């Protein structure tokens, strides 16, 4: 009994310390995941705690379970429109990008350290993919809102790239264990099987779980547990039949999060807690595995590999992978810099250890240093780099509450409080309603006003709207006045997407309009210049005017900010 209590005390004490330091570290821009990793290292055999933990099999199991929960939570929060926007570039990064990064790192490691080319390429496969836990957590904790094209590409890439990294790692482990093994067409079939079965089972079983959740009557806390256990089942089933469990569980979350009726705020909050528990526990365990005294022996090699990956291999792979897509050079540089490494490379580094491959501790130590440098250097600088490269946008005010309807629908109940100076002040609800958004309730001084009287809206009113999530930014724009940051970013004036460009130039322009824009609306001009899918923050210039997309629905600019010359 004493040993049980001691075990609980140590485990909960480490978790409590990590959570406490993690909450404080956010003020200084240090990723909380790095804090948990360091707490584990300090508690380990070379640290103050002196805890000897070298059970790589247990760490591997815990890492897989935790990653499944984190990917499920990430999928739940990815809107289908966002997924469609970022899928093609993310898939290119998750396949071609990982292969290029692995090849470049492998060649560099072989040349630098003088190891067998298979060992060098194995290291490239281990650290070649970005990590979902790191990407989701660091972007969320950085306090910066990225434009949707960049954010969706980064998040979806981290959810899709595990099959390629696992394929390269297992292929090289097999070659090192049995150099005479055949690995041609069979390994390619394995890769296709990982992607194919992962995608198929993730979508199919995700739809089944969604239907179960719709039909089961239980409180939202139990819904979160059902969802989490269902996701773990999908992960296990897919792995058992030879598919990618990581890809499957991410797609399960995507399907469940976008199902008819959606996922309520309370379910997402419960899942957020589970994801935090998973990633904090995982990084604590991985930190305990680290032996700093051995780590210092390989530190020069590790620092060189980390610098090569961050400054050359990742940027080259991003540039080549995104060539067919319309990303600006600023967006490409930011995507290259945000190739965060985290738990996935460490878990992959356990593969050769369990297989008994030579020089595996060298690979493990280099991987740990790469993860530490990535979280500390790239993760901590994310906000600064995003603002310097102008890929961040001002945060819009979120609804006070968002509630998914129990009935099958893509509508949500969203509550906004009207600020003094907002566009809605002085107008009636009838003037603000549209086909897809309907004002349902108007609260004033804790009383519900009758909508039949068509009352005028006042500052401080609380309005409950029934609308799709795509209308959230538009409703926020109605109910809240622009902040100083938003005015600087978008400009002092707003124009509707349906405004003719010629009319705009006639009023504000300082130069003659080019023939190209004759007869086009502002929305059509954005589509022509930035592509089919515009996102908030996209910028076009015409006749000395700067227009920046403020509100976008289904890839079409609904409203743009206008900045005059000078």
Which of 393, 411, 563, 552 is closest to 474 using CA atoms?
A: 552
- Dihedral sign (CA 471, 476, 482, 487): negative
145, 386 contact by CB (below 8 A)? no
What residues contact 413, with CB distance under 8 A and at least 6 apart?
401, 402, 403, 404, 405, 440, 464, 465, 466
346, 286 contact by CB (below 8 A)? yes
CATH number for 484-563 (one of 3.40.50.1390, 3.40.30.10, 3.30.465.10, 3.30.1050.10): it is 3.30.465.10
Measured torsion, CA atoms of residues 263, 267, 271, 274, in degrees rounded to the nearest 10: -160
Q: Which two tokens stand for residue 384?
A: 């600064």
165, 98 contact by CB (below 8 A)? yes
Q: Which two tokens stand for residue 194?
A: 């990982």
DSSP letter assigned to residue 456? B
Which of 253, 329, 243, 309 is closest to 98 using CA atoms?
A: 309
Whole-angstrom Cα distance, residue 561 to residue 486?
Answer: 9
Number of C-beta neighbours around residue 510 at 10 A: 11
Q: Which two tokens stand for residue 197?
A: 């079965």
332, 322 contact by CB (below 8 A)? yes
SS3 content of the chain, % helix, strand, coil (to 5): 65, 10, 25
CATH number for 54-387 (one of 3.10.105.10, 1.20.1530.20, 3.40.50.300, 1.20.1200.10): it is 1.20.1530.20
Number of C-beta neighbours around residue 514 at 10 A: 11
Whole-angstrom Cα distance, residue 271 to residue 258?
Answer: 15
The predicted pLDDT at position 107 comes to 95
Measure CA 394 to chain center: 18
Q: Which residue has the tokens 């995003």?
A: 386
Task: Tell me the CA distances in angstroms from 337 to 129, 393, 533, one per residue in order.
Answer: 13, 18, 24
247, 166 contact by CB (below 8 A)? no
β-sheet bridge partners, residue 548: 539, 561
Q: Which two tokens stand for residue 337?
A: 């810099």
123, 207 contact by CB (below 8 A)? no
What residues contact 11, with CB distance under 8 A and at least 6 apart?
none
What's the pLDDT tens digit per position in 495-523? 888 888 888 877 776 666 667 667 788 88
Residues of the chain scoring pLDDT < 70 = 1-2, 22-30, 132-133, 136, 141-142, 180-184, 217-221, 260-265, 404-410, 433-436, 470, 509-514, 516-517, 532, 566
Q: Which residue has the tokens 């604590």?
A: 284
β-sheet bridge partners, residue 60: none
Whole-angstrom Cα distance, residue 13 to residue 42?
Answer: 13
Whole-angstrom Cα distance, residue 270 to residue 115?
Answer: 47
The predicted pLDDT at position 432 comes to 73
Q: Which numeric CATH code is attached to 401-479?
A: 3.30.70.1450
Q: Domain extents for the chain?
A: 54-387, 401-479, 484-563
Whole-angstrom Cα distance, residue 480 to residue 418?
Answer: 6
The predicted pLDDT at position 164 comes to 80
The predicted pLDDT at position 409 comes to 62
Q: Which two tokens stand for residue 259?
A: 């199902």
Q: Which two tokens stand for residue 386?
A: 């995003």
Whole-angstrom Cα distance, residue 281 to residue 279?
Answer: 6
Measured torsion, CA atoms of residues 338, 343, 345, 347, in degrees rounded to the nearest 10: -170
Instruction: Give the burial class of 29: count Cβ atoms within 10 A of its Cβ; 0-12 exposed, 13-18 middle, 19 or more buried.
Output: middle
């Amino acid at each position: 009994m004493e040993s049980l209590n001691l075990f609980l005390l140590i485990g909960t004490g480490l978790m409590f310390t990590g959570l406490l330091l993690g909450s404080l570290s956010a003020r200084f821009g240090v990723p909380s995941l790095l804090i948990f990793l360091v707490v584990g290292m300090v508690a380990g055999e070379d640290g103050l705690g002196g805890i000897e933990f070298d059970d790589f099999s247990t760490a591997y199991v815990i890492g897989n379970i935790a990653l499944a929960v984190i990917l499920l939570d990430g999928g739940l929060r990815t809107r289908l429109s966002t997924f469609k926007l970022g899928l093609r570039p993310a898939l290119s990064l998750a396949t071609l990008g990982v292969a290029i990064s692995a090849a470049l790192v492998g060649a560099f490691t072989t040349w630098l350290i003088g190891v067998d080319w298979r060992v060098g390429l194995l290291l490239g496969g281990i650290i070649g993919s970005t990590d979902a836990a790191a990407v989701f957590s660091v972007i969320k904790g950085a306090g910066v809102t990225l434009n949707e094209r960049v954010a969706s590409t980064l998040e979806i890439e981290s959810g899709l790239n595990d099959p390629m990294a696992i394929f390269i790692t297992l292929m090289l482990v097999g070659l090192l264990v049995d150099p005479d093994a055949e690995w041609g067409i069979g390994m390619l079939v394995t890769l296709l099987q990982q992607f194919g079965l992962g995608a198929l089972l993730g979508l199919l079983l995700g739809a089944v779980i969604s239907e179960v959740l719709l039909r089961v009557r239980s409180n939202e806390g139990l819904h979160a547990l059902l969802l989490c256990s269902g996701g773990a089942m999908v992960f296990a089933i897919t792995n058992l039949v030879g598919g990618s469990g990581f890809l499957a569980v991410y797609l399960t979350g995507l399907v469940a999060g976008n199902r008819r009726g959606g996922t309520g705020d309370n379910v997402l909050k419960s899942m957020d807690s589970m994801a935090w528990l998973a990633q904090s526990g995982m990084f604590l365990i991985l930190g305990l595995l680290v032996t700093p005294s051995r780590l210092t022996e390989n530190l020069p090699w590790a620092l060189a590999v980390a610098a090569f990956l961050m400054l050359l291999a990742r940027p080259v792979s991003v540039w080549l992978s995104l060539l067919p897509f319309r990303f600006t050079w600023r967006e490409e540089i930011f995507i290259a810099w945000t190739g965060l490494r985290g738990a996935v490379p460490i878990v992959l580094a356990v593969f050769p250890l369990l297989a008994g491959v030579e020089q595996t501790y060298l690979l493990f130590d280099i991987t740990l240093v790469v993860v530490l440098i990535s979280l500390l250097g790239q993760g901590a600088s994310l906000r600064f780099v995003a603002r310097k490269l102008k890929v961040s946008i001002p945060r819009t005010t979120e609804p006070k509450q968002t509630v998914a309807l129990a009935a099958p629908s893509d509508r949500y109940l969203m509550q906004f409080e009207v600020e003094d100076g907002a566009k809605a002040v002085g107008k009636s609800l009838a003037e603000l309603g549209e086909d897809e958004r309907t004002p349902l309730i108007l609260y004033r001084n804790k009383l519900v006003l009758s909508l039949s009287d068509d009352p005028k809206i006042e500052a401080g009113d609380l309005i409950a709207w029934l609308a799709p999530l795509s209308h959230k930014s538009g409703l926020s724009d109605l109910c809240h006045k622009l902040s100083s940051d938003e005015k600087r970013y978008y400009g002092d004036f707003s124009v509707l997407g349906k405004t003719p460009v010629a009319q705009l130039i006639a009023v504000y322009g300082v130069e003659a309009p080019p023939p190209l824009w004759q007869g086009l609306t502002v929305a059509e001009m954005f589509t022509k210049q930035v592509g089919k899918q515009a996102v908030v923050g996209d910028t076009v210039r015409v006749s000395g005017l700067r227009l920046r997309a403020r509100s976008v629905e289904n890839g079409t600019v609904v409203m743009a900010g206008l900045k005059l010359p000078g």
